[in-house]
Amino acid sequence: MQKRALKVAVISDVHLGTYGCHAEELNTYLKSIDPEVLIINGDFIDIWQLSKFYFPDSHWRVIQRVIKMMMNGTKVYYLTGNHDEMLRKFSGFRLDNFYLEDKLILEINGQKMWFFHGDVFDVTMKHSKWLAKIGE
């Protein structure tokens, strides 16, 4: 299959580890592209739901696909979201082509682009996390 070359691809709110996740469709999409940069804009794995022990093979295949992309030269920026806020204490971590950040500014075609997960604007998440978890 011919892969489509891209400068930047952005995925967000995948929520691997949940029943509503469309892992197979995402894996098919990721197989079809060859981005220079992949931005995972938060909530890739739903850490809030990990205690439910639901993580089928299709979800693992998405993780394997992203790792393969990194090994083939794609820079992967993981931006923390509300379902993985515990990762924020590791912001700034880098391993080869993997970067963990809270926000990202990239220059694309001479313009600066700012990427971050939308929970920074969610008053409920900032002040009443317990209330947000009840709504899940």
Q: pLDDT tens string for the chain (136 positions)?
A: 789 999 999 999 999 999 989 999 999 999 999 999 999 998 998 877 776 778 999 999 999 999 999 999 999 999 998 878 788 899 999 999 999 999 999 998 899 999 988 665 555 555 455 545 554 5
CB 115 within 8 A of CB 37: no
Q: Provide CB contacts within 8 A for 76, sequence distance 6+.
A: 37, 38, 39, 40, 66, 69, 70, 97, 98, 99
This prediction's pTM: 0.83
What tokens appear for 90 in the block?
Answer: 């590791």
Among residues 101, 72, 73, the alpha carbon closest in space to that of 87 is found at 101
